[in-house]
Structure 1
Amino acid sequence: MLPRHHQPIVAIATAAGRGAVGIVRASGRDLQPLIAGVCGRALGPRHATYLPFLDAQGQAIDRGLAIHFPAPNSYTGEDVLELQAHGGPVVLQLLLARCLELGRDIGLRLAEPGEFTERAYLNDKLDLAQAEAVSDLIDASTEAAARSASRSLSGAFSSEVETLREQVVRLRMLVEATLDFPEEEIDFLRQADAQGQLDAINAQLASVLDHARQGALLREGIRVVLAGQPNVGKSSLLNALAGAELAIVTPIPGTTRDKVSQTIQIEGVPLHVIDTAGLRELGAAGDEVERIGIARSWDAIGQADAVLFLHDLTRVGEPAYDADDAAIAQRLSPLAPRVVHVFNKSDLRAAPEGDGDGDGVAISAQTGHGLDTLRHTLLRLAGWHAQPEGVYIARARHVDALQRTREHLAMAHAQLQLAQPALDLLAEELRLGHNALAEITGAFTPDDLLGEIFSRFCIGK
């Protein structure tokens, strides 16, 4: 039996449901049995041919376009056959079944999620960061994210990582060469300006890490939770930010019983905004449903990237209200760097002195006053500052790998500062930093990570 990555594969490559066009895609080392059986004739390389797709009795299942991409000039680097038919689910299933029938002797099987792109990576058509960008481009929720994913797919991110990797390799070669000449090692490193080389690498790494963080924000977005006492305007703020009536708004305390979520975008950055049940203490006779909602509110707050703590300006100064706000603030204190105080209903009452930009944001969810300031405050809190045109899409694992690289290079820098650096430790830190960089593009990647990455792709891609 052929190894898994050498077995020919086939799948429906278009989304489920009806459409104008549907595609069945196959990839493998030799697809001639499929071409002969389905198309009934030879196909010119990379030319679309209009013909009937034949069943086992020679009858037409459908008529459409067949395109043969001979290896290695294909997406996967293998022979690829695309059958473009009418996009009916039954038609596509019949074509898929016919391909599996014809490919039985060559071991043709159904493709697993992401397996076409995985083969493109394994056959050096894409590196791992580019392969991930394929999925990110499909999943992009904003125009900025789509453009940044396209930039990563074209190799912009990979090129910067590869430049860094080459610089680290040159420094590694220099350091490891000195291990053969211990009596001259210090002068040799100084003459070759090892310190200057490492400083240049660190400066370039800082730039790449900053861009990667911005790209991760475009991909992942920011999880924002609206918190506060009942009837402070959380649901009204959600509706105002979303521009739609998503949450029920009434003057009755406890109207919101469970989380209500909506994704919006600010400057292309997705914001996953979550409206929660009003926070208050319930006595023993309190509503059990509301109690569960409050517990879920605190759970969402703990997982948030940013918490908008809403205050009702029309009630600020009332002893009971202020006491309850103080209790909530005390419980939020461990999350202080992620908490933004939002003073709502500024159309009815001005914010108290001292509640300006430094201490909070005054808004009116009813009129929209202050919402732009609040949006930009959220972006600053998340660390967004780049323009989308200069950003490539990135993932949390990329940022983690770059951070680990920075840590190892910092240890290497510390060794170079010593009067008598331990060259074996210096070489080891550079090696670990090099390996962390190589994880990004897949030059050094554990197999279990590959399985995790490609399992999240859609089938047929």
Structure 2
Amino acid sequence: MLATDHDPIAAIATAAGRGGIGVVRVSFGGHRGEVVEAMIEAICGQPLTPRHAHYCGFRDARNAVLDRGIALYFTGPHSYTGEAVLELQAHGGPVIMQLLLQRCLDAGRAIGVRLAEPGEFTRRAFLNDKLDLAQAEAVADLIEASTEAAARSAGRSLDGAFSRLVHALVDDVINLRMLVEATLDFPEEEIDFLEAANARGKLAAIRASLERVLAEARQGALLREGMSVVLAGEPNVGKSSLLNALAGAELAIVTPIAGTTRDKVAQTIQIEGIPLHVIDTAGLRATDDEVERIGIARSWSEIERADVVLHLLDARTGMTAENVEIATRFPAGVPVLRVVNKIDLAGEHAEVVSNDAGEGVEVRLSARDGEGIDLLRAALLKIAGWQPGGEDVFLARERHLSALRAASGHLSIAHEHAEQRSESLDLFAEELRLAQDQLNSITGEFSSDDLLGVIFSRFCIGK
């Protein structure tokens, strides 16, 4: 632990601004007993019974009442941080909150109470084994959740759903490592370890379990981060109309004049609880108009960063030579979904069909009438990899995905060594160890102070 992890800290725990109730929180670090109780009595004017709510006046240095509210005192380790904690619930005006915070800092000056850093309360909960690292990150994710599905999934992560799966994987890897290490320690035993202990079967089961966890983590990351969807195509093919249809609101200007959209228009929508960041861009064409050329350049920049590109065509003209040229410029590795718009003008009906090149599907719809929009939503969910029944998903971060992928890579190499039998048993054991380290980094059993600093610095102050 860092020396500062023992300091008493204080902060306003509620969001900035006015509210009916505001909370100031103090965590007393390594201090306890009479010193803490004296500070509490100086602020509250009375001793507090642990884990009981007390209605009292919060007093300044001259014993004048600043405000009246509820005071709660928790003794360590039975608190959020695992330390002695005082919570003062007062009226939520910004001035009274600042006065109350300053009173806590002044009253605690003798024991070194200081202003908390972002995420420091949750960092202490992690360091004091109240939460593991994945659960601690779920606290921030729960606060920042932008959809109901994301909030529910963050709650499951906070409850330990993700951590339990990771711990189960770690236990399986440890058990296999024990068998391997035992064989390495007793090379005189003339047994075929890989056959007698079914090491290959155990490894295959671990790899299958890891793939299932990784698939669920991808779902969770999708709920947390969302997906960037860029609408691209020639001018006047209905990109702005499609944005409005997906969003259910008139966000972009729609006219029959080509080149109306000259800069991007962005909107976040939800499909099955997944945030989709939809970006309408300027029509792609050769032009001498300087403003339009800048807009087109920005369009290509957005396309380069997209998670999926919707290439819009006009049903009356189809895949023109200009559209072929546009398609050849789309970045490799980015999924492209062809959307044929204006079927109402072409006398067609909404459907999903294989495209002319046989490279996936295209959705035929009318953005103006809304016909086929549900087909497009379903196609986007499929590209995102969203599976039905995602209500049991836990929230995950890119850090978690990277660690799971790295662990999967080490287990793949271990499998290769296992196929070479006992000649590579030491290398087999080493890959298992590296896989375990990657899994442990998710929950924090193996994490550097630098990583912890980055993670908790992104929390809000007071949490």
TM-score range, shorter chain: over 0.9
Query: For 1:215-226, what aligned pairs fall within 5 Å after superposition?
Result: 215-226=220-231
Match of 1:204 among 193, 209, 218: 209
* Preserved CA contact (<8 Å) 1:343 1:351: no
Map of 2:61 onto structure 1: 56
Map of 1:346 onto structure 2: 343
Q: Tell me the distance in 2 between the aligned counterparts of 1:104 and 1:420.
A: 64
Map of 1:266 onto structure 2: 271
1:58: how far off? 0.8
- Provide closer, same or farther for how the CA distance between residues 53 and 295 of structure 1 changes in structure 2, counting only shifts above 3 A: same
2:195 is aligned with 1:190: yes
Q: Tell me the distance in 2 between the aligned counterparts of 1:438 and 1:380.
A: 31
Amino acid at match of 1:26: V
RMSD: 1.8
Amino acid at match of 2:90: A
* Preserved CA contact (<8 Å) 2:44 2:58: yes
1:385: how far off? 1.0
1:206: how far off? 1.4
Q: Tell me the distance in 2 between the aligned counterparts of 1:255 and 1:211.
A: 42
- Provide closer, same or farther for how the CA distance between residues 182 and 348 of structure 1 changes in structure 2, counting only shifts above 3 A: same
Match of 2:295 among 286, 293, 296: 293
* Preserved CA contact (<8 Å) 1:148 1:391: yes
Could you say what secondary structure the match of 1:182 adopts?
coil
* Preserved CA contact (<8 Å) 1:33 1:103: no
Map of 2:90 onto structure 1: 85
* Preserved CA contact (<8 Å) 2:351 2:365: no
Amino acid at match of 1:261: A
- Provide closer, same or farther for how the CA distance between residues 421 and 387 of structure 1 changes in structure 2, counting only shifts above 3 A: farther
1:195: how far off? 1.4
Amino acid at match of 1:413: H
Bigger mean CA offset, 269-278 vs 344-353 = 344-353
Map of 1:323 onto structure 2: 321
Match of 1:111 among 98, 110, 116: 116
5+ residue gaps in structure 2?
Answer: 355-359
1:452: how far off? 1.1
2:412 is aligned with 1:410: yes
Q: Tell me the distance in 1 between the aligned counterparts of 2:190 and 2:409.
A: 24
Q: Tell me the distance in 2 between the aligned counterparts of 1:123 and 1:146.
A: 25
- Provide closer, same or farther for how the CA distance between residues 353 and 113 of structure 1 changes in structure 2, counting only shifts above 3 A: closer
Q: Tell me the distance in 2 between the aligned counterparts of 1:20 and 1:79.
A: 26
- Provide closer, same or farther for how the CA distance between residues 268 and 370 of structure 1 changes in structure 2, counting only shifts above 3 A: same
Match of 1:429 among 408, 428, 431: 431
Map of 2:16 onto structure 1: 16
1:26: how far off? 0.8
- Provide closer, same or farther for how the CA distance between residues 292 and 50 of structure 1 changes in structure 2, counting only shifts above 3 A: same
2:356 is aligned with 1:368: no
* Preserved CA contact (<8 Å) 1:313 1:350: no
Map of 1:102 onto structure 2: 107
Percent identical residues: 63
2:6 is aligned with 1:6: yes
1:351: how far off? 5.6
1:446: how far off? 1.4
The TM-score with structure 2 as length reference comes to 0.94
1:355: how far off? 7.6
1:33: how far off? 4.1
Deviations along 1:120-168, whole A, 9 cap, x unmatched?
Answer: 0000000000001111111111111111111111011101100110110
Could you say what secondary structure the match of 1:53 adopts?
strand
Count of equivalent residues: 452
Amino acid at match of 1:347: D
